[in-house]
Chains A and B, each alone.
Chain A
Amino acid sequence: MAFKSNIRAFYNHSKSHPLLDSYRLLVALELALKDANYVAHCGSHDVPNMLVTASNSLSVAAFPLVSAQLKSYSAKLRSDLGSITCQGKNSLPTPVPPSSYPYIRYSRCFGDWSGINETPAHKLTTLETTCRSICAFITAHSVQIGVFL
């Protein structure tokens, strides 16, 4: 069974797993950003670009550094998502498109694919850390950004 780790992560929700935590945080972020009308233009799951839209909507005169940090997080999230290898629709290993985070559900977790094009465990941990940081930042600046988690 190739998606062994993925199934366990999503099924056994009482036990923390970076894949599950990243995914649920990204779902929450996507919904909250959409709720504030910060949409992206390519794909409805493009959270990195939604963050840029949110950043550009801020008054830079009032919050110059909040805006920059959102862009910084956007770049970090884009890079973290793209560094994860997933099983593409054509059944070939492929990078997760940063504009469509749900692909992480099909990430080729370490140990499940006989060492072929697997995603190192630390990449998922890094993604989870980034997602947590973004959520914490948005929570701390919810009034300025207009996004409520």
Chain B
Amino acid sequence: MKSISEIITSLKSLTRSDGVDATAHLSELRVNFVAPSLHVDVISKEFIGIDTDSRMDNLQAWLNEASLEDPAIILNTVARLPITINVLTPEEAENKSKWFDQTDHASWVSSFMEEPPRKSTPALETTPKYVHFYGYKGGQGRSTVLALLAKALADDGHRILLVDADIEAPSLDLLFGVSADTFDQTLMGLCGWSDKFQPIAGAYSGRFDGRIDLLPCRPRIESADLDFALLVATAPLDSRIYEGAANKLQESLPKGNNAYDIIIVDHRTGIASSVLPLMNRLPGAAVVFARTDFNTSTVPSELRRVVRAIFSNTASIPGVFVSFSLDPNRAASAARSPIEARVREQLLGELASVIENSDEDESANQISTTDLSLNWIDWYLDRALLEPALPDVSRLQSDNISSINLLREALALPVGRRRELIPGKSSVSITGKPSASLSGAKDSGPFIHIPEIDKLFVPGNPYTYILGRKGTGKTRLLNEMARRSLGIPLLVAADETKTPALRSQSIESQAWLEQCQNDAPTFWWSLIRMAIENEGGLSIEDAVKRYINNKVDPKTISDRLQIKTLLLKLRSPQVFLVDGLETLVPAARIKDFVTALFEIMGTFQNDPSVANRLIIRSFVREDLAASAIQNIEQQLEGRSLRLKWSAVSILNFALSRIPTLDWISQNFSDVCAEIEDHQAIIQRSSLSEKDATELLLRIFPTRLRRNNLSTATFMRLYFSDAGGDDTNKATFYPRLYLSFLQKLDAFAAEEQTPLDSDNRIKSSLLNRAYDEASREFISETKQELSHLLSLEYDDNNVQIANDQEKVTKFINAFAGLSTPFQHEAIIIELQTKTKFSEKSVRESLLRMKAIRMFEDRPGYAGWWRVGQLYKMGLLMKYVRNKLG
């Protein structure tokens, strides 16, 4: 069987005179691709006046005359292969071309037909800029480099949209740890599954208000699997599906202040049908990943055609090759092997050829491949990429950091920070003197942005489970979100007074709980119903009060179907914020309430018809979330955010609170002035650890006398629950830090000689302030422990008034006990001291461990130790070599 190219060559030979006859049989041969088949128009005057069958017979006879062809090649070819042979007279051909121009240019077939490549017209520079990432083969690091480039750009304040067009194996959502719940948020939506366009906002939040939004290929819900398979099966037959999607994307992109700066498209490997239509309709630069480790020094012909097609379709900027080296010892300075050098030369030659073809000046000189040496970028194996999460660019090895920078330059992307910061988002001023206070609810100091948390300030972001340990700023965060109108608080902490919501221990919340007969699902569904009907009118607390006064039966307003109907009628989607779960109900019932809330959230998540109508963002202590429901990991995947303060962010937080302290701001006015100068950077947590420490050490002494500890170490060690090692699990506690600073300020004001010989605050005052703050932290913890612990006496006759007193008794019992300790032994000691039942002591210890008050002693099975943060507050005695 001949190939189609050979058959076309045979037919072409009929357009030439053989020298014997004066004229050739065919006047013209036209080949074009109209999906799903190749159309070959065979045009001859000799077809005039005869029927189609006879024309076909003639054509076959001419071929047979010209060479010893298969005697039935025409019939066999059209019967077996996707090719249509149209036998036309010149007049018929002219008529056909007048109204039948449906050639599919943006297809691999059309691209492969052309030799040399068709003249491409350079597209005009567009805003936003489009960049297409393509690799003929997979496994070359394409998506990883794409994600890292995007992060680098977002960290410089640019707004990026990533489009996952790796149609058959999409993965960008997994790479960023986010997922789409509905078709509106996906490329599939643009391909016909939805009329809306709502990419996942804030998949990554960079510095200076930069961010990455993501348009995944498909929703990550099981019910979308079949749809996904259908798209993959049908779309290849009609490239207009992707062209239509690209058009819709362009029409739907936000304009003005919300516009994206750069849109990066991750393409499918090979000659997938989606690649060229999207590139053609979204003109920009292309990054082609190329392997150089062939066994031969010749680049396969189809790869050369592919490269040519890619660059012809994205000719506004020449484009770049990225070559991934699998050699772990390969460094940028290493010489290329001869084979690799030749492959590189050939591929750059293809790029040069496309650039020449797109040059409007016909007399332009040939472009040398050496002129394009910067269009070839090497990428190296990197240990930083072995971590489960995508690392920051700064953590890559230096050669790869250079490669990212080169990539930006070669693609004509901005190499520095965005010139104008996006207005609106950074509008929080830290000028003035906010009154600092102890609790998170009452801390009115400036809000400090942690990069991870900034994602929450992007409207429509996918994070609905905001988890954090006690004192990591959940309440403060909710407050800030409410202040920015990013959600309506539904339930808030007991001491939260700034937001009009139901407070967890208010008379109203307790009365409504009673009316719900403490049934958790009824409580949540009824609360949601009230909030939906309210639509931001009354405060939820007032709405609850009205329902209580009207003696409404909660069951009657917690019907799920009715609530769904109400949701579908909403004028605009609603976002509710839920906090204060820890103090809503007594410890024994708290799990039921978290479980019920998470189940309701799961219900909304998994129902595409309402997923975008109602979003509940819950702020929950992570130990409560961990065991709330079965398959919690699955429900939280891509939707949870952990509040975690790193060393650099906590130091920026500390600096931001310094000007709010009366005595310190009076006595260290120069430091405060410098802090004010850097306030914008500090507010974004962007002042380096080194610079922040330097500033603090102009107020604090270099060393602390107690333990002879350097103050820098103290600041890293004593406010974190993992000794400041900044692992994935450790976090710093802003509430403790704030309390420490306030105590220090107060003690210094009281002290007659608060400064040492170096004019820094005395070391002893720092120790005293820490001890006090730590005790206060424990005291505050006690309030939450009264909801967390369920302490019962062995003797039923013993009666103590309330849970708070029981917890105080239990906490006091730790004073003087040794740490580290044997778990089983301390149970007996505590039981003896308190008379609480063994079961309740055991359970309480486990719950306290869950909130990191205790931790395992590494290397000693059955041994625990007190958490760094609680050592001082619990007054336990540290005993070295306790094992003896």
- A-side residues, CB < 8 A to B, are 41-44, 46, 48-49, 52-53, 55-56, 60-61, 63-65, 67-69, 71-72, 74-75, 78, 81-83, 88-89, 94-100
Q: How far is the CB of B68 from chain A (nearest CB, A)?
A: 18
Looking at A71, A75, A94, the one whose CB has the most chain B CB atoms below 10 A away is A71
Q: Counting CB contacts under 8 A, is B177 at the interface?
A: no
Binds A, one of B76-84, B204-212, B474-482, B547-555: B76-84
In the complex, the answer to whether A52 meets B52 with C-beta atoms within 8 Å is no
In the complex, the answer to whether A99 meets B84 with C-beta atoms within 8 Å is yes
Residue in contact with A89 in the complex, picked from B53, B80, B88, CB distance below 8 Å: B53
Q: How far is the CB of B192 from chain A (nearest CB, A)?
A: 4
- Decide: A64 near B76, CB < 8 A? Known: A49-B84, A72-B237, A78-B82: no
In the complex, the answer to whether A60 meets B243 with C-beta atoms within 8 Å is yes
Residue in contact with B238 in the complex, picked from A44, A55, A81, CB distance below 8 Å: A55
In the complex, the answer to whether A69 meets B234 with C-beta atoms within 8 Å is yes
Residue in contact with A78 in the complex, picked from B37, B56, B231, B244, CB distance below 8 Å: B37
Q: How far is the CB of A108 from chain B (nearest CB, A)?
A: 14
Q: Counting CB contacts under 8 A, is B102 at the interface?
A: yes
Can you list 7 residue pairs at the A/B interface with Cβ under 8 Å? A41-B100, A42-B84, A46-B84, A64-B238, A64-B241, A65-B235, A94-B75
In the complex, the answer to whether A60 meets B240 with C-beta atoms within 8 Å is yes
In the complex, the answer to whether B76 meets A95 with C-beta atoms within 8 Å is yes
Closest residue on chain A to residue B88 by CB atoms: A41
Docked complex Cα distance between A49 and B100 (Å): 12
Q: How many of chain B's residues touch chain A, expressed as a range?
A: 35 or more
Docked complex Cα distance between A65 and B227 (Å): 11
In the complex, the answer to whether A65 meets B75 with C-beta atoms within 8 Å is no
Q: How far is the CB of B341 from chain A (nearest CB, A)?
A: 44
A-contact 0/1 string along B216-240, CB 8 Å cutoff: 0000000000000011001101101
Closest residue on chain B to residue A42 by CB atoms: B86
In the complex, the answer to whether A100 meets B52 with C-beta atoms within 8 Å is yes
Docked complex Cα distance between A42 and B54 (Å): 12
Q: How far is the CB of B218 from chain A (nearest CB, A)?
A: 15
In the complex, the answer to whether B80 meets A94 with C-beta atoms within 8 Å is no
Residue in contact with A74 in the complex, picked from B36, B241, B248, CB distance below 8 Å: B36
- Decide: A41 near B86, CB < 8 A? Known: A65-B192, A68-B235: yes
When distances are taken between beta carbons in the complex, the residues of chain A under 8 Å from B288 are none
Q: How far is the CB of A120 from chain B (nearest CB, A)?
A: 16
Q: Counting CB contacts under 8 A, is B87 at the interface?
A: yes
When distances are taken between beta carbons in the complex, the residues of chain B under 8 Å from A48 are 37, 84
When distances are taken between beta carbons in the complex, the residues of chain A under 8 Å from B41 are 41
Docked complex Cα distance between A116 and B244 (Å): 49
Docked complex Cα distance between A92 and B35 (Å): 32
Closest residue on chain B to residue A93 by CB atoms: B72
Q: How far is the CB of A18 from chain B (nearest CB, A)?
A: 19
In the complex, the answer to whether A82 meets B79 with C-beta atoms within 8 Å is yes
When distances are taken between beta carbons in the complex, the residues of chain A under 8 Å from B52 are 42-44, 99-100
Residue in contact with A61 in the complex, picked from B72, B75, B247, CB distance below 8 Å: B247
Question: Which of chain B's residues 59-109 have a Cβ closer than 8 Å to chain A?
Answer: 72, 75-76, 78-80, 82, 84-88, 92, 96, 100, 102
In the complex, the answer to whether B78 meets A52 with C-beta atoms within 8 Å is no
- Decide: A71 near B35, CB < 8 A? Known: A41-B96, A64-B191, A95-B76: yes
In the complex, the answer to whether A96 meets B35 with C-beta atoms within 8 Å is no
Docked complex Cα distance between A124 and B53 (Å): 23
In the complex, the answer to whether A82 meets B80 with C-beta atoms within 8 Å is yes
7 additional A-B pairs beyond A42-B84, A65-B234, A71-B238, beta carbons within 8 Å, are: A41-B96, A46-B84, A56-B34, A78-B37, A95-B75, A96-B79, A97-B79
Q: How far is the CB of A37 from chain B (nearest CB, A)?
A: 11
- 7 smallest CB-CB distances across A and B, nearest first, come from A95-B79, A82-B79, A68-B238, A60-B240, A42-B86, A64-B192, A71-B237
In the complex, the answer to whether B75 meets A97 with C-beta atoms within 8 Å is yes
- Decide: A60 near B85, CB < 8 A? Known: A41-B100, A71-B36, A95-B75: no
Docked complex Cα distance between A69 and B235 (Å): 8
When distances are taken between beta carbons in the complex, the residues of chain B under 8 Å from A41 are 41, 86, 88, 92, 96, 100
Docked complex Cα distance between A67 and B234 (Å): 9
- B-side residues, CB < 8 A to A, are 34-37, 41, 52-53, 56, 72, 75-76, 78-80, 82, 84-88, 92, 96, 100, 102, 191-192, 230-231, 234-235, 237-238, 240-241, 243-245, 247-248
When distances are taken between beta carbons in the complex, the residues of chain B under 8 Å from A63 are 192
When distances are taken between beta carbons in the complex, the residues of chain B under 8 Å from A82 are 78-80
Looking at B37, B41, B237, B241, the one whose CB has the most chain A CB atoms below 10 A away is B237
Residue in contact with A42 in the complex, picked from B34, B80, B87, B231, CB distance below 8 Å: B87
- Decide: A98 near B191, CB < 8 A? Known: A41-B100, A71-B237: no
Q: How far is the CB of B616 from chain A (nearest CB, A)?
A: 34
When distances are taken between beta carbons in the complex, the residues of chain B under 8 Å from A61 are 244, 247-248
In the complex, the answer to whether B88 meets A95 with C-beta atoms within 8 Å is no
In the complex, the answer to whether A68 meets B79 with C-beta atoms within 8 Å is no
Docked complex Cα distance between A48 and B37 (Å): 10
Docked complex Cα distance between A99 and B51 (Å): 13
- Decide: A60 near B79, CB < 8 A? Known: A41-B92, A42-B85: no
In the complex, the answer to whether A56 meets B102 with C-beta atoms within 8 Å is yes
Residue in contact with A65 in the complex, picked from B56, B241, B243, CB distance below 8 Å: B241
When distances are taken between beta carbons in the complex, the residues of chain A under 8 Å from B192 are 63-65
Residue in contact with A67 in the complex, picked from B80, B88, B240, CB distance below 8 Å: B240
Docked complex Cα distance between A37 and B790 (Å): 80
When distances are taken between beta carbons in the complex, the residues of chain A under 8 Å from B237 are 68-69, 71-72, 75
When distances are taken between beta carbons in the complex, the residues of chain A under 8 Å from B35 are 52, 71
In the complex, the answer to whether A98 meets B78 with C-beta atoms within 8 Å is yes
Q: How far is the CB of A36 from chain B (nearest CB, A)?
A: 15
When distances are taken between beta carbons in the complex, the residues of chain B under 8 Å from A69 are 234, 237
In the complex, the answer to whether B234 meets A72 with C-beta atoms within 8 Å is yes
When distances are taken between beta carbons in the complex, the residues of chain A under 8 Å from B240 are 60, 64, 67
Q: How far is the CB of A73 from chain B (nearest CB, A)?
A: 9
Docked complex Cα distance between A64 and B86 (Å): 27
Q: How far is the CB of B246 from chain A (nearest CB, A)?
A: 11
When distances are taken between beta carbons in the complex, the residues of chain B under 8 Å from A55 are 238
When distances are taken between beta carbons in the complex, the residues of chain A under 8 Å from B72 are 94
Q: How far is the CB of A139 from chain B (nearest CB, A)?
A: 19
In the complex, the answer to whether A99 meets B78 with C-beta atoms within 8 Å is yes
When distances are taken between beta carbons in the complex, the residues of chain B under 8 Å from A74 are 36-37
When distances are taken between beta carbons in the complex, the residues of chain B under 8 Å from A42 are 52, 84-88
Closest residue on chain A to residue B80 by CB atoms: A82
Docked complex Cα distance between A41 and B241 (Å): 25
Docked complex Cα distance between A41 and B92 (Å): 9
When distances are taken between beta carbons in the complex, the residues of chain A under 8 Å from B88 are 41-42
Closest residue on chain B to residue A81 by CB atoms: B79
Q: How far is the CB of B228 from chain A (nearest CB, A)?
A: 13
- Decide: A68 near B234, CB < 8 A? Known: A41-B92, A41-B96: yes
Docked complex Cα distance between A131 and B405 (Å): 57
Closest residue on chain A to residue B55 by CB atoms: A42
When distances are taken between beta carbons in the complex, the residues of chain A under 8 Å from B191 are 64-65
Residue in contact with A97 in the complex, picked from B78, B86, B235, CB distance below 8 Å: B78
Residue in contact with B241 in the complex, picked from A43, A68, A97, CB distance below 8 Å: A68
When distances are taken between beta carbons in the complex, the residues of chain B under 8 Å from A100 are 52-53
When distances are taken between beta carbons in the complex, the residues of chain B under 8 Å from A96 are 79
Closest residue on chain A to residue B40 by CB atoms: A42
Q: How far is the CB of B42 from chain A (nearest CB, A)?
A: 9
Q: How far is the CB of B419 from chain A (nearest CB, A)?
A: 37
When distances are taken between beta carbons in the complex, the residues of chain B under 8 Å from A88 are 75
Closest residue on chain A to residue B87 by CB atoms: A42
Q: How far is the CB of A41 from chain B (nearest CB, A)?
A: 5
In the complex, the answer to whether A75 meets B80 with C-beta atoms within 8 Å is no
When distances are taken between beta carbons in the complex, the residues of chain A under 8 Å from B34 are 52, 56
When distances are taken between beta carbons in the complex, the residues of chain A under 8 Å from B245 are 64
Docked complex Cα distance between A43 and B74 (Å): 15
Closest residue on chain A to residue B85 by CB atoms: A42
Closest residue on chain B to residue A39 by CB atoms: B100
Closest residue on chain B to residue A89 by CB atoms: B53
Closest residue on chain A to residue B236 by CB atoms: A68
Closest residue on chain B to residue A55 by CB atoms: B238
In the complex, the answer to whether B37 meets A60 with C-beta atoms within 8 Å is no
